[in-house]
Amino acid sequence: MSRIRLTLAYDGAPFEGWQSQPGDNTVQDVLEAAAAEVAGGEVRVSGSGRTDTGVHALGQVAHFDAPEGSKMDAGAWMRALNTKLPAAVRVLAASGVGADFHSRFSAVGKTYRYEIDTAPVLHPLRVGRAWHHPKPFEVGVLRAACELYLGEHDFAAFAANRRDGKEPDTVRTITRAEVEAAGGTVSVIITGNGFLYKMVRLLVGGAVRVAEGREGLGWLRGKLEDPGAGKCQYCAPGGGLYLVEVEY
Amino acid sequence: MSRIRLTLAYDGAPFEGWQSQPGDNTVQDVLEAAAAEVAGGEVRVSGSGRTDTGVHALGQVAHFDAPEGSKMDAGAWMRALNTKLPAAVRVLAASGVGADFHSRFSAVGKTYRYEIDTAPVLHPLRVGRAWHHPKPFEVGVLRAACELYLGEHDFAAFAANRRDGKEPDTVRTITRAEVEAAGGTVSVIITGNGFLYKMVRLLVGGAVRVAEGREGLGWLRGKLEDPGAGKCQYCAPGGGLYLVEVEY
């Protein structure tokens, strides 16, 4: 068996997220269709984790097992997949890995970037690629709010209910939560050892709520200290979110 | 009569260019539809010039005459149009102007930017927003080729035949023709007192042909010195072109 690791970029706009769904147009669906066309038979592609509808990837990681007897090396797979994939998905790198590598279970960290566009009028070339937020908020307060997320916490208040009901362990460690402001765009960069369903968007939504002055820092701290007391209700839209990198 | 000047940005991807066409989805069509909805009657919107299918605008300029008796000021028009327009078109600024202002005939210059993406694999978020050109070319030679365009020339060799057959005067003056290279993108910035049909894309296409080493600088110079001897056949794709600014 020959296992291939892929580094992928995609435009989230035309897809119903990463995860394969019957009848849906997902990134996993088009990857498996492209791989099947190249291999001449069914191929199952596993990703490091799901991304939701509209969420973009700059460095998603996935893996698959080449069919028995395949003579193609990783570079040949990359070139062949890129000829079959829609332009909205691209393999940026491919390498052969051992059977012990798993894109999801071997991952030790992930970095996301969330972009907030503060221009009075959203530029047409930014549609679906940022959260348009023209109402003023304090960048300094946003930074202070994001710093509360650093460290190990039970993030249950920042997890949407999964459709399958599973979410056994809601403790995660955030090692980076930075805010950058440049040219009308405020970006939140978050690195952690793992993320719950919609967690990054809920972290950003909650921090922006505080930066708008509509909630205090104590409200946000309470969601971390007493996660059972009530979920964060403010989920930033999918189009502003970019999966930057998966670490192994 | 009250004439309103608009500064517009648009994503060229979803449109069949600027110019209104029967049954076509053009920028002018959606602007006139939005203005008619706001005004409650037909409004004719004139632009500084056409942009082709896929071409983007960061600062297109247009004007229209508000219906007799309209009490709306320019700011109210801007806000109202932005609520009616698709997100791919936005009014960035609006001002009241005199009846002697005409977005096309009053224009004294235009600046375009053309983006060439040289990455081995085109990033999905750059699809339709740059010419993907992974084959090597010499940026220094591209710069030298673009410098040939500076000054007053008969650019007939760099004009596609218009569907209406009109192109009475093909002499134009180019005052800026610069090449910038940053992060895998090579950009050509061109300013002139006017441009013929598809002229910027033919100027870029011809210059890239020379930078690839497939034609010499003398070939390009010949197209300027003897414009009747044969047209440039190399037209760079529309998605890489951005109308940056119109000067008055």
Written as one string, the DSSP assignment of B116-161 is: EE--SS--GGGTTTSEE--S---HHHHHHHHHTT-EEEE-GGG-PP
Residue of A nearest to B121 (CA): A92
Nearest Cα neighbor of A115 from A198, A203, A180 is A180
Residue A2, phi then psi, degrees to nearest 5: -125, 115
Nearest Cα neighbor of A145 from A194, A186, A196 is A186
Per CB-CB distance under 8 Å, the chain A contacts of B125 are 9, 11, 56, 129
Residue of A nearest to B119 (CA): A92
Per-residue model confidence as pLDDT tens digits over A110-142: 999 999 999 999 999 999 999 999 999 999 999
Q: What percent of chain A stands above pLDDT 70?
A: 97
| Cα–Cα distance for residue pair A135/A227, rounded to 1 Å | 29
pTM: 0.93
Q: What is the ipTM of this complex?
A: 0.92
Per CB-CB distance under 8 Å, the chain B contacts of A6 are none
Q: Cα dist. A162→A70, A196, B12, B24 in Å?
A: 37, 9, 38, 43
DSSP B41: S
Same fold, A3-97 and A109-247: yes
Pairing relationship of beta strands A109-117 and A46-47 according to DSSP bridges: unpaired
| Cα–Cα distance for residue pair B55/B50, rounded to 1 Å | 10
The first and second tokens of residue B113, run together, are 């930017």
For chain B, which residues make up each domain, given as ranges? 3-97, 109-247
Per-residue model confidence as pLDDT tens digits over B8-27: 999 999 999 999 988 779 99
The chain-wide mean pLDDT, for chain B, equals 95
| Cα–Cα distance for residue pair A84/A127, rounded to 1 Å | 27
B3-97 adopts what CATH topology? Alpha-Beta Plaits (3.30.70)
CB proximity list for A210: less than 8 A, separation 6 or greater: A141, A142, A145, A216, A217, A219, A220
- Judged against a pLDDT cut of 70, whether residue A163 lies above it is answered with no
B interface with A, Cβ–Cβ < 8 A, is 9-11, 56, 82, 87-92, 121-125, 127, 129
Cβ pair A88:B127 closer than 8 A: yes
B52 is catalytic: yes
pLDDT band at A70 (very low <50, low <70, confident <90, very high): confident
Cβ pair A125:B124 closer than 8 A: no
| Cα–Cα distance for residue pair B113/B55, rounded to 1 Å | 11
- Judged against a pLDDT cut of 70, whether residue B171 lies above it is answered with yes
| Cα–Cα distance for residue pair A12/A239, rounded to 1 Å | 7
Nearest Cα neighbor of B67 from B35, B29, B20, B28 is B35
pLDDT band at A164 (very low <50, low <70, confident <90, very high): low
Q: Which CATH architecture has domain B109-247?
A: 2-Layer Sandwich (3.30)
Task: Tokens 């002018």: give the residue.
Answer: B28
The chain-wide mean pLDDT, for chain A, equals 95
